[in-house]
A and B are shown apart, each in its own frame.
Chain A
Amino acid sequence: MSPHDHDHDHAHAEIAPSERPGYYDIMETAVRELLIDKGLFGADEIRRQIEVLDSRTPALGAKVVARAWIDPDFRARLLANGRAACEELGISFYDDTQLIVLENTETVHNLIVCTLCSCYPRPVLGLPPDWYKNKPYRARAVIEPRAVLAEFGTVIPDGVEIRVSDSTAMVRFLVLPRRPDGTDAYDEEQLAALVTRDAMIGVVPASIAAGRS
């Protein structure tokens, strides 16, 4: 039996440490070990927080959006206080950040970016995609949002106001996309399946074609 002998059909390199840790890897390890040595927290708490983050996915945000589409009272509470409305659905926030939910309408299209780093509504969407963290998106979303959106296939008519929210402070944002036409007969679960991560960042609309099957 070879060290790498399991039952799947794609080739990949043997999983083994192949690179020396980088500068920031070493710094992270050093700071983490110091904090543990000083008793500020333990390894269990670190693992627990990783489990918290791993449990968050765009399916949570999709559930929130679908509920807002079918329940006008919930939608009103969501727009008034995003965090409290998500907590109603059992989605905890685990830190001090607030959530502002930005509603797309016939006349307003919202787009979210963090030009400084990668601020993102992690409690409801999980980890951000790589492109969200990379400099081209972060710089261009505030300079030429219409060109960036067009590259995602989203062409916004001139008559629609674009609002770019630069998420750099204490608040996180979630876009409430427009409910697609032709979904009157959909139930809440079917609606949630139409809501993608990218629609909740504001780079694409929610659509029947783009939804998760």
Chain B
Amino acid sequence: MVNFTHDASGIVLATGEAPLFRPGEAVRVMTRAPVGHYRVPTYLRGKSGVVESVIEPAAIDNEEEAYGRNAGSKRHYYRIVVPMTSIWPHYAGSPADNLRIEVFETWLERIQA
């Protein structure tokens, strides 16, 4: 298990400062339906994918920002890859076809690949 609270120099990072997920890790988009401004498409909630890359720099949480509540708090977006065949059971195309999208950290959970 990687310890995400320290870097090699022993500097302790604040919560949310370092990315929680790494490229190649399997993640699932959470199934939630918050009231308000959110940008995670409904068709991807509950779907699993793999992290392609971490989007730098960390960004504010749009859902909180919409209500003026961000208070400077930032987390990362992750570009994830989701196979089309796992989103649409009757997908017409190659099994290699996939969807790629940036999802905010608060919407992802780590799963076993």
Residues in A with CB closer than 8 Å to B100 are 163-166
Residues in B with CB closer than 8 Å to A104 are none
Query: For the side of the interface on B, what is the size category?
Result: 20 to 34
Q: Which residue of B lies closest to A144 (CB)?
A: B92
Evaluate whether A168 and B92 lie within 8 angstroms (CB atoms) in the complex, with A98-B55, A163-B100 already known. no
Residue A158 interfacial (CB < 8 Å): yes
Q: Which residue of B lies closest to A168 (CB)?
A: B39
Judging by beta carbons under 8 Å apart, are A116 and B88 in contact? Answer: no
Listed stretches B5-13, B18-26, B101-109; interface member: B101-109
Q: Which residues, 88 to 110 on A, are CB-close (under 8 Å) to B?
A: 96, 98, 100
Residue A17 interfacial (CB < 8 Å): no
Residue B64 interfacial (CB < 8 Å): no
Residue B72 interfacial (CB < 8 Å): no
Judging by beta carbons under 8 Å apart, are A166 and B99 in contact? Answer: yes
Residues in A with CB closer than 8 Å to B43 are 115, 142
Excluding A115-B43, A166-B99, 19 further A-B contacts by CB distance (< 8 Å) are: A116-B39, A116-B41, A143-B88, A143-B91, A145-B97, A147-B92, A161-B96, A162-B96, A165-B100, A166-B41, A166-B100, A168-B39, A168-B40, A169-B39, A169-B55, A170-B55, A171-B55, A171-B77, A171-B79
